[in-house]
Amino acid sequence: MIQAHRLTKRFGSFTAIAEVSFRVEEGEIVGFLGPNGAGKSTTMRILGGVFPPTAGYARVAGYDVVDDSLRARQAIGYFPERVALYTDMTVREYLGYVADMKHVPAKEQAREIARVMDRCGVTHMGHRLIGTLSKGYRQRVGIAQALLGQPKVLILDEPTAGLDPEQVTEVRKLIRELRGHSTVILSTHILPEVEATCDRVLIINQGRLLAVDTPRNLNRRLRQLSQIHVEAQAPLVSLLETLRQIDGVVRVEATHTDHNVVAVTVLTDPTKDLRGVIAERVVRQGWPLLEIRPVQLSLEDIFLELVHRPDEVSVNPGG
Amino acid sequence: MKTTLTICKRELRAYFGSYIAYVLTALFLLLTGGFFYSWLRYFILFGGYVLPSGLWQQVFLDMRYCAMIVLPLVTMRLFAEEKKLGTIELLWTYPVRDLEVVLGKFLGAWLFYVFMLVPTAVAPLVFYTFYQFDLGPFLTGYFGVLLLGTAFIACGMFVSSLTENQVVSAMGTYGILITFWYITWNESVASVAVIEGLLKVSLFDRFLNFARGVVDTQDIVFFVLFVLYFLFLTLASLDARKWRGVGAAS
């Protein structure tokens, strides 16, 4: 649904992105992750038809974003990083303007505008001037205009930036609800965001794509050791001893003791899932097992790994 | 075509949704009304019966200054405002041709100019109820003022597309228009050949025939070419985003 092939964009002597290639399949939600200035917005703007790439090509819904720009743009909904809307219009007027711009047929406009307003929770703000809305509501109107016309592809540039935590949750929920209806590519520099919403993640830094994979695979590929967090009511020394004897356990570290509850982190061979064995051993000793869970390496960790040791991870476009 | 009208509508909304339209219209009417009143007084006292070459010529010649003062303030926001606010980025993501954007904005500013121009005819028409003057030269003058203003708008829109600062946009337009006004100001500083060449491209001198009630196709062609030239320059200027980008590159 989205295809980028060796996209390169230079502004004068500055190279914003270099040789970025990836594919996004129909119905996928893909996260575009990278620090500020990594080239996320540049890539999104190329996909959105704002400007063409210096080299390489991109296709959206089968249309080249340069040669078939109008049809490509007809297929997308775009949410810009800087949510700039016409502040002198009311929400409803503005969405009416967008519907005209997107060639939504006149008799479907009222229904379509009502749909996106409802979807984004701005129905009760329809008659307010956009200039008088709070940042959160403007953001929602921004998303509403992207959704208008039911585009096949949604390009969302930092859709949760600048929102309060409750609004962030709402926007993420909204994006998850799009699953199956639209293909979504969203950029963010907030790591939990992709974990919360995305099927796959593209990691970009300094204009180059570092990795393309599912959050889970990235997790697996980058971990040398799996970590399991165990809490039990047991004497610490005996518990450590018992766990160390399990085949596949590399190391056991005590993390916390409180009265008679001890918490330990068990580092294990990543190819084996030892949770069952650990639980069984602890319980066999007669110790109440309070908690056992795998510790997920956060994308923060993954990202640091990739940025500092990019050669050790192969880029796998097309996933 | 439909998209052009959508953009035009949006521009008119921007003018009339804020104070801009009313302040600029008031200024324009104050200036044109003042000139009309003073020239009318003058011709009643000293002019006799030479209205076409006398009163109307003076009124329309002064009206071009009113247009020169007000129209750069009309066009300064066309692209500069959208660039400054960042709304231009979203505009480019809609299925719209650059030409449709340019024509839509141009048409919006032009219709606003027509809106300002119409009430200026009220005083002369009231005058007409007392004294049935020949309408031909009067209408020719208006046609000329409309063409001249159209040229100013095209020029102003181009300058607006170069910057995101509205003040720079207005000042730049004043610069260009005043240059066109000024190049034939003093005929003694250049040779006859040069002056004759300059007169041909001077917006203000081209207007002289209209003010006198004379329609010359050459003049019309000149204004049409002037407008087309600046529309083309505007398109070329918008094209620059393809290598310069929009806003911060990130």
Could you read off the pLDDT of B71-107 as tens digits, one per residue? 999 999 999 999 999 999 999 999 999 999 999 999 9
To the nearest whole number, what is the mean pLDDT of chain B? 88
Tell me the residues of chain B between 226 and 245 that have a Cβ less than 8 Å away from chain A: 241-245
How does strand A200-205 pair with strand A29-33? parallel
pLDDT for res A293: 87
- If you ran DSSP here, which 8-state letter would residue B53 be given? I
pLDDT, greater one: A271 or A289: A289
pLDDT for res A314: 46
Residues of B in contact with A154 (CB under 8 A): none
Q: What is the pLDDT of residues B210-245, one digit of tens each?
A: 888 888 888 999 999 999 999 999 999 999 888 777
Interface test with B, best of A87, A90, A92, A100 (most B CBs within 10 A): A100
Is the pLDDT at B29 greater than 90? The verdict is yes
As a whole number of angstroms, the distance between CA B100 and CA B81 comes to: 18
CB contact (8 A) between residue B94 and residue A97: no
Residues of A in contact with B13 (CB under 8 A): 86, 88-89, 93
To the nearest whole number, what is the mean pLDDT of chain A? 86
CB contact (8 A) between residue A85 and residue B14: no
Closest among A146, A7, A149 to A65, alpha carbons compared: A7
Which of A70, A82, A93 lies at the smallest CB-CB distance from B86?
A82
Which of A39, A89, A101 lies at the smallest CB-CB distance from B13?
A89
CA B18-B88-A82 angle, 5° bins: 95
Residue percentage of chain A with pLDDT more than 70: 90
Is the pLDDT at A111 greater than 90? The verdict is yes
Contact present, B200 and B40 (Cβ < 8 Å): no
Which residue is closest to A53 within chain B, CA to CA? B242
Which of A54, A84, A102 lies at the smallest CB-CB distance from B94?
A102
Residues of B in contact with A185 (CB under 8 A): none
Give the tokens for residue B62. Answer: 């002064």
pLDDT for res A318: 41
CB contact (8 A) between residue B95 and residue A88: no
Is the pLDDT at A23 greater than 60? The verdict is yes
CB contact (8 A) between residue B10 and residue A51: no
Task: Tell me if chain A has a CB within 8 Å of the CB of B97.
Answer: yes
pLDDT for res A312: 46
CB contact (8 A) between residue B17 and residue A51: no
| Helix residue ranges, H only, chain A | 40-48, 69-74, 91-101, 106-119, 135-147, 165-177, 191-197, 215-222, 236-244, 275-284, 299-308
Sheet holding A76-79, edge to edge: A76-79, A153-157, A183-188, A29-33, A200-205, A208-213
Residues of A in contact with B250 (CB under 8 A): 16, 36-42, 81
Q: What is the pLDDT of residues A72-88, one digit of tens each?
A: 999 999 999 888 999 99
Number of A to B CB contacts under 8 A, please give it.
Answer: 98
pLDDT for res B248: 44
Which of A14, A45, A101 lies at the smallest CB-CB distance from B94?
A101
pLDDT for res B50: 66
Which of B17, B87, B244 lies at the smallest CB-CB distance from A84?
B87
Which residue is closest to A43 within chain B, CA to CA? B250
pLDDT for res B8: 96
CA B45-B48-B51 angle, 5° bins: 110
As a whole number of angstroms, the distance between CA B193 and CA A316 comes to: 71
Closest among A163, A142, A154, A137 to A82, alpha carbons compared: A142
pLDDT for res B212: 83
Q: What is the pLDDT of residues A34-47, one digit of tens each?
A: 877 888 999 999 99
pLDDT, greater one: A255 or A98: A98
As a whole number of angstroms, the distance between CA A278 and CA A287 comes to: 12
Give the confidence band of A299 by pLDDT, cuts at 50, 70, 90.
Answer: low
Q: Which of A173-182, B11-20, B117-126, B241-250 has the lowest mean pLDDT?
A: B241-250
pLDDT for res A272: 78
Q: Which of A90-94, A219-223, B94-98, B200-204 has the lowest mean pLDDT?
A: A219-223
Domains parsed from chain A with CATH numbers = 2-220 (3.40.50.300), 225-295 (3.30.70.3190)
Task: Tell me if chain B has a CB within 8 Å of the CB of A42.
Answer: yes
Which of A70, A73, A85 lies at the smallest CB-CB distance from B87?
A85
Residues of A in contact with B85 (CB under 8 A): 84, 87
Give the confidence band of A94 by pLDDT, cuts at 50, 70, 90.
Answer: very high
pLDDT for res A223: 62
Question: Alpha-carbon dihedral of residues A47, A49, A55, A58, nearest 10 degrees?
Answer: 40
Residue percentage of chain B with pLDDT more than 90: 58
CB contact (8 A) between residue B242 and residue A52: yes
